[in-house]
Amino acid sequence: MTVKKRAGTYVYEAKDPAAMAKAAKAAAKLLQQGKLVAFPTETVYGLGANAWDEKAVEKIFFAKGRPADNPLIVHISGPRQLEALADPIPAEAWLLAERFWPGPLTLVLPKKTQVPDVVTGGLKTVAVRIPRHPVALALLQEADLPLAAPSANLSGRPSPTTAEHVLTDLAGRIEAVVDGGPCEVGLESTVLDLSRETPQILRPGAVTAQEISELLGQNCVLTRWQEESGAKPPSPGLKYLHYAPQAPLYLLRGEPQRLVSGLQKEQQKWEAAGNKTGLLVSAETAPFLQSDYLLVLGSRTDPAGMAARLYDALRRFDRLGVDVILAEGYPATGVGLALMNRLQKAAGGRVIDLE
Ligand code: TXA
Ligand code: MG
């Protein structure tokens, strides 16, 4: 196995099956010793630690600079581990697990008392999923442990979708990263709370509200919790600014025919004031715009492809050193809902509605 090192962090290549098996073995050993290892999942890279080991999990919060009240998702490899973590497990959970696991759906369930408080931020529930990336599955099986793993970025930064993104944020702060190439989905998993009277989506993702509603035979919607309400958020993660690039991002929403002129107008305004202005747009809009700092997310006909490229684009703008980013908005349906949710978070309230 070729092992590189970056600022003290091992980089295990896992791009073919043989390398993957070796990397999983080496990484599993580190996890069993209570060390931190970043690994690819189909959504984003996760920063894993043995979920039963409080000291190991504490290191995650330190490495990321993550607030201690923001709970972690526990990654598992099968139903036996689910039963060790959650109780009671409602029928809906088994139904959803059968249909969507392994895959980008996280279930919030009542936790067993044995689950350390440091994992759940002191909550009485635990978030669990089986990821479907072959490296993540090999690692979970080899370690034979549930792995507490948030996205492997510094707190507040866009989630990493390549090993390079992980190293940019965490080289020297973690023991190793397993490089399994770019993530397929590119946005974090759907988080579904099954611990309340009715199922609630706390974070939209690639498994959509429609798919969940159809399977459960009941209408399942995105939580209506709003920052301004002053109420306690159902998911602590909701109250933190997430996914933010370094430059302020403005999200322009409106009909496609208004977007081009809206973007042009905003661009002129910012450039006239001497700002390096980044444009984050679709393939359909790009031909009508001109800028040295224009990034195309993909075609509006392929929201999943656009979602997969979002975080890399946000990090590219950081490297380009733009002063401001103007981002095109999309229809918030299907995966588009998750894409717009992350763009809105990156905008932190800077939304321009084009009338
Ligand atoms: O796709 C993903 O979910 C990735 C990969 C690595 O699996 N992980 C991820 O983890 O995005 P993180 O920590 O960045 O986001 C977890 C979210 C946070 O918003 C957190 O507040 C919420 O899930 N969460 C975790 N446990 C919870 C719980 N018991 N109740 C409510 N929300 C919870
Ligand atoms: Mg995160």
Residues 6+ apart with CB under 8 A from 192: 96, 105, 106, 107, 108, 199, 200, 201, 202, 212, 220
Among candidate residues 229, 257, 274, the one where a domain is terminated:
229
Which of 83, 89, 127 has its CA nearest to residue 108? 127
Q: What is the CATH number of the domain that holds 88?
A: 3.90.870.10
Among candidate residues 229, 262, 287, the one where a domain is terminated:
229
Atom of ligand 1 nearest to the CA of 75: 7
Residue 250 has pLDDT above 70, yes or no: yes
| pLDDT tens readout for residues 163-219 | 999 999 999 999 999 999 999 999 999 999 999 989 999 999 999 999 999 999 999
Say how many Å lie between the CA of residue 265 and the centre of ligand 2.
33
Residue 240 has pLDDT above 80, yes or no: no
Mutate to test the pocket of ligand 1, among 151, 178, 227, 335 (most ligand atoms within 8 A of CB): 151
Atom of ligand 1 nearest to the CA of 70: 21
For residue 43, the one-letter residue type is T
Which residue's CA is the closest to the ligand 1 atom numbered 10? 150
The answer on 130 and 197 residing in a single domain is yes
The answer on 205 and 177 residing in a single domain is yes
Residues facing 100 on adjacent strands:
none
The answer on 168 and 35 residing in a single domain is yes
DSSP state of 293: T
Does some domain include residue 8?
A: yes
Residues facing 106 on adjacent strands:
191
Does some domain include residue 235?
A: no
| pLDDT tens readout for residues 24-38 | 999 999 999 999 999
pLDDT band at 131 (very low <50, low <70, confident <90, very high): very high
Number of domains in the chain: 2
Look up the domain containing 98 and give its range: 3-229
The answer on 174 and 26 residing in a single domain is yes
Q: How far apart are the first and last CA of the chain?
A: 57
The answer on 131 and 7 residing in a single domain is yes
Per the prediction, the chain carries an average pLDDT of 95
| pLDDT tens readout for residues 90-112 | 999 999 999 999 999 999 999 99
Does some domain include residue 234?
A: no
| pLDDT tens readout for residues 253-282 | 999 889 999 999 999 999 999 999 999 999
Does some domain include residue 236?
A: no
How far apart are the C-alpha atoms of 136 and 134, rounded to whole Å?
A: 6
Q: What is the bridge-based pairing of β-strands 249-253 and 351-353?
A: parallel
**What integer is the mean pLDDT of 133-149?**
98
**What integer is the mean pLDDT of 101-126?**
98
Q: What is the CATH number of the domain that holds 334?
A: 3.40.50.11030
The answer on 255 and 201 residing in a single domain is no
Q: How large a percentage of the chain has pLDDT more than 90?
A: 88
Q: How large a percentage of the chain has pLDDT more than 70?
A: 96
- The ligand minimizing its distance to the Cα of 122 is 1
240-249, 282-291, 312-321: the lowest-pLDDT one: 240-249
The answer on 201 and 268 residing in a single domain is no
Per DSSP, helices labelled H in the chain are: 17-32, 54-64, 79-85, 91-100, 117-120, 134-143, 163-170, 209-216, 256-272, 303-320, 335-347
